[in-house]
Amino acid sequence: MKIIRLIFFIVHIGIAFLLVGTILNAYIPPKTFPWLNLLSLGFPVLMIAYVVLTLFWIISWKKRAFVFLLFGLLFFKPVIRWINYTPQKNETPDLKIISLNAKGGLYGKENIESFVNAQNPDVIFLQEYGANKKYHFNKLKDRPESHIITIFSKYRIVEQKQLIESDYEYNNAYASQTDIEIKGKIYRFINVYLQPFKFQKNMVKLNGNSEEDEQKVKDVVKRLIPTFKMHQEQIIAIRKSIDESPYPVILAGDFNSVPNSYEYYHLPEGLQDAFVEAGKGSGTSFHDYKFPIRIDYIFSSPSIKPLSYKVDRSVRLSDHFPVIATFKFEK
């Protein structure tokens, strides 16, 4: 039994160091050391293993349990970026937003239209909407932006600008800023679709053949690392739009990045994560793989208070669940 406990102790220490590595993404960019960003993808599994081992020490009545419990508090904020619970805010919202990666409307453009019309949002962000498809939403007017992203608004669009646009060869990312006048005040809405990894299910599904599985893992890593580095570059133009904005900002879209990644720490810096402020349950938004993946977000300036945040799992409009949030404007 002592040998088993020693093995568990060593494993527990190792997991703790790996979890600390995910926090270091706030300081170390992918171009310097991309492996830390890779760790962020496994954060849920690492955290579950950490908790299970901590419970083992508690049940075993070992003093080290208290050390691991105290050390585990370091990961409270990283955890609530994945799983959270906040009390309901009984305030009347001023703004309702939907963000959805529509996967080219392959699950049915009409289904998306029906869902959005039933939700009656003020603004909708679409990514991968399908440039050949024309959406019709009640009371919402669009401003065509690119072949990948677009935005619809009930309110007057004052100005729009492309921040990132694909060259179809190296860069497949898109981002735009749209200034919208709402009740006499202008707000900046930034729609983001960072570089995709372009994975197919068969590329990541292991089949039990050690040689083939090993090659698949290597191929996955070969795609992940360069994409992390591209994200670092793509963030620069978006950050400039946020930092230089004379208006309060709402940033939303498909970041193709999980919480606790370099992208999460740096892209929305200074903004509030609506899920952390007002979310309940799991923030997982990508459902095509049987693994918790949160890559769709809505962030806001401090003067735009999140009242609610929901990942709507009742519908299958694409391989992403729609993300819905409501906000209150601070006076």
Residues 140-149 have pLDDT tens digits of: 887 766 678 9
Q: Both 157 and 260 in a single domain?
A: yes
In this model, does residue 290 exceed pLDDT 90? Answer: no
Question: Which CATH number do you get for residue 188?
Answer: 3.60.10.10
Q: Both 222 and 147 in a single domain?
A: yes
Out of 39-43, 78-82, 148-152, 212-216, least confident range? 212-216
130 pLDDT tier (thresholds 50, 70, 90):
confident
6 pLDDT tier (thresholds 50, 70, 90):
confident
**Residue 67 has what pLDDT?**
92
> Of the spans 102-111, 113-122, 164-173, 206-215, which averages the highest pLDDT?
113-122
Look at 285 and 220; give whichever has higher pLDDT.
285
Q: Both 36 and 154 in a single domain?
A: no
* Boundary residue ending a domain (80, 104, 124): 80
**Residue 75 has what pLDDT?**
95
Q: Both 63 and 91 in a single domain?
A: no
Q: Both 61 and 95 in a single domain?
A: no
Averaged pLDDT, 89-112: 93
Averaged pLDDT, 190-203: 77
Q: Both 75 and 201 in a single domain?
A: no
Query: Rounded CA gap, 150 and 131, in Å?
Result: 9
Out of 198-212, 237-251, 275-289, least confident range? 198-212
Domain assignment of residue 37, given as a range: 2-80
Query: Rounded CA gap, 301 and 259, in Å?
Result: 18
Q: Both 64 and 167 in a single domain?
A: no
Count up the domains in the chain and report the number. 2
Residue 249 contacts residue 188 (beta carbons within 8 Å): yes
pLDDT (tens digit, 9 = 90+) per residue, 50-97? 999 999 989 988 888 999 999 999 999 999 999 999 988 889 999 999
**Residue 199 has what pLDDT?**
57
Nearest 10 degrees: Cα torsion 270, 273, 276, 278:
120
Q: Both 32 and 142 in a single domain?
A: no
Averaged pLDDT, 270-283: 96
The model's pTM is 0.92
Averaged pLDDT, 110-115: 94
* Boundary residue ending a domain (27, 59, 80): 80
Mean pLDDT of the chain: 90
Query: Rounded CA gap, 281 and 98, in Å?
Result: 18
**SS (HEC) of 63-124:** CHHHHHHHHHHHHHHHHHCCEEECCCCCCCCCEEEEEEECHHHCCCHHHHHHHHHHHCCCEE
Q: Both 20 and 152 in a single domain?
A: no
In this model, does residue 168 exceed pLDDT 70? Answer: no
Three-state SS at 25: helix
pLDDT (tens digit, 9 = 90+) per residue, 8-36? 899 999 999 999 999 999 999 999 999 99
**Residue 210 has what pLDDT?**
62
Q: Both 189 and 291 in a single domain?
A: yes
Q: Both 261 and 151 in a single domain?
A: yes
